[in-house]
Amino acid sequence: MKFINIILLSLSLLVVACSAKTEEKPTVAPKKVAVESPVEFNADSAYNYVKAQVNFGPRVPGTQGHIRCAQYLVDELKRCGVDTVIEQKTTVTAFNGDKLPINNIMGQVNKDAMSRVLLLAHWDTRPWADAEEDKSKHNTPIPGANDGGSGVGVLLEIARCLQIKRPTIGVDILFVDAEDYGTSFGAENTWCLGTQYWVNNMPYKQGRVPQYGILLDMVGGIDAKFHREYLSQYLAPSVVDKVWGMASALEYGNVFANQIGGSIVDDHMYINQVGIPCIDIIESQNPQTGSFNPTWHTLDDNMSNIDSKSLKAVGQTVLNVIYNEK
Ligand code: AHN
Ligand code: ZN
């Protein structure tokens, strides 16, 4: 041990001596520091926001859990000091004829700013665990920790951070309903019913439409990796570059993979259709499944499969993108 230490010591002295000869710079290499974050995104806080939602039970439109959670989201946005909260309530019809009472909830920060960014996530949860192998479980609602809870949890924590330090631009934090009442058999527009209603009834005053949008969907999975989702890359490449570039600068390149991923029918598709370039941060190339996170539409989508590290990487990246806008 002693001997090795002496070798290491003499080696480092040699390195110091060599570098002193070739350059005037200090011999201690400056530690590579990641981009400074104006406000620290608190992953524990985000985790607790996810847990609070899961504690309401499934947030299936028309259920008590759904009604109680809506009130919680409105109250929490207000507690975070947003300028206004808009609740957009209506009834939509699902593919199977079910009438769904829905509520799209939007909190606005700097509500009069002309320059704005839209951040969104769906807050409803799927009434069917139809990705379970055991068919007898297919009609049980999922807990929706990752699918429903995670995106909203990250956005609530971002709302809390934006109160600590106000951004220059305006930020619209939108929780869309009835994303997950769709069917794989048939038309793709059976999904994202809340967002489809929203794009046709946007509550924006003249000129206050956001310049771009970022959708967070299932961002809390264990060891989550986010590839550049295919539609996002095609429809809003500069937004993808902006977000993946920030992630890389923050040294989250291991979480935000610089590769094209699968193509997902999701809320961002409808936002793009009304001329707002919008991307989707979502796992679309999970190594176990080749697509979504393994807990997707199963009863394992619970708190034990939520990873604070994933929430942190996504939350800090998106938060810094916001602070970076002039
Ligand atoms: C489809 O399976 C067509 N879209 C999935 C979007 C989704 C469901 N995100 C969360 N749950
Ligand atoms: Zn889902």
Which residue ranges make up each domain of the chain?
2-323
User: Phi and psi at residue 80, in whole multiples of 5°?
Assistant: -80, 5
Question: Which atom of ligand 1 has the smallest separation from the CA of 296?
Answer: 11
- At 32 the pLDDT is 59
Supply the residue whose CA is at minimum distance from atom 11 of ligand 1: 180
Overall average pLDDT of the 19-36 stretch: 58
- At 193 the pLDDT is 98
pLDDT at 5 > cutoff 90: no
Which residues are close to ligand 2, an ion, with C-beta < 5 A? 126, 147, 180
Q: How far apart are CA 192 and CA 265, in angstroms?
A: 9
- At 310 the pLDDT is 98
Q: How confident is the model at residue 24 (pLDDT cuts 50, 70, 90)?
A: low
pLDDT (tens digit, 9 = 90+) per residue, 145-192?
999 999 999 999 999 999 999 999 999 999 999 999 999 887 899 999
Which residue carries 């985790």 as its tokens? 47
CA of 191 to the centre of ligand 1 (A): 7
Overall average pLDDT of the 211-216 stretch: 99
Ligand found nearest the CA of 301: 2
Nearest to 316 by CA among 267, 271, 281: 281
Pocket test for ligand 1, best of 124, 193, 196, 266 (most atoms within 8 A of CB): 266
Question: Which atom of ligand 1 has the smallest separation from the CA of 266?
Answer: 6
CB 324, CB 56: distance < 8 Å = no
- At 16 the pLDDT is 41
Average pLDDT over the chain reads 92
> Helices 43-54 and 64-79, interaxial angle, to 10°?
150
pLDDT at 320 > cutoff 90: yes
Contacts of 23 (CB under 8 A, 6+ apart): none
Supply the residue whose CA is at minimum distance from atom 6 of ligand 1: 266
- At 17 the pLDDT is 40
- At 26 the pLDDT is 57
pLDDT (tens digit, 9 = 90+) per residue, 278-309?
999 999 999 999 999 999 999 999 999 999 99
Q: How confident is the model at residue 21 (pLDDT cuts 50, 70, 90)?
A: very low
The percent of residues above 70 in pLDDT, for the chain, comes to 90
Domain 2-323, second-level architecture: 3-Layer(aba) Sandwich (3.40)
CB 122, CB 283: distance < 8 Å = no
Which three-class secondary structure string do you get for the chain?
CHHHHHHHHHHHHHHHHHHHHHCCCCCCCCCCCCCCCCCCCCHHHHHHHHHHHHCCCCCCCCCHHHHHHHHHHHHHHHHCCCCEEEEEEEEEECCCCCEEEEEEEEEEECCCCCCEEEEEEECCCCCCCCCCCCHHHCCCCCCCHHHHHHHHHHHHHHHHHHHHCCCCCEEEEEEECCCCCCCCCCCHHHCCHHHHHHHHCCCCCCCCCCCEEEEECCCCCCCCCEEECHHHHHHCHHHHHHHHHHHHHCCCCCCEEEEECCCCCCHHHHHHHCCCCEEEECCCCCCCCCCCCCCCCCCCCCHHHCCHHHHHHHHHHHHHHHHHCC
The percent of residues above 90 in pLDDT, for the chain, comes to 87
- At 25 the pLDDT is 54
Q: Which residues line ligand 1 (CB under 6 A)?
A: 147, 180, 188, 191, 217-218, 264-266
Question: Which atom of ligand 1 has the smallest separation from the CA of 148?
Answer: 10
Amino acid identity, position 165: K
- At 13 the pLDDT is 40
pLDDT at 45 > cutoff 90: yes
CA of 17 to the centre of ligand 2 (A): 60
- At 166 the pLDDT is 98
pLDDT at 34 > cutoff 80: no
CA of 172 to the centre of ligand 2 (A): 23
In order of 7, 88, 172, the CA distances from 74 in angstroms are: 63, 12, 14
- At 312 the pLDDT is 98
Question: Which two structure tokens, joined as six digits, stand for 25?
Answer: 């710079």
Overall average pLDDT of the 59-86 stretch: 98
Overall average pLDDT of the 67-95 stretch: 98
pLDDT at 67 > cutoff 90: yes
Overall average pLDDT of the 238-255 stretch: 98
Amino acid identity, position 57: G
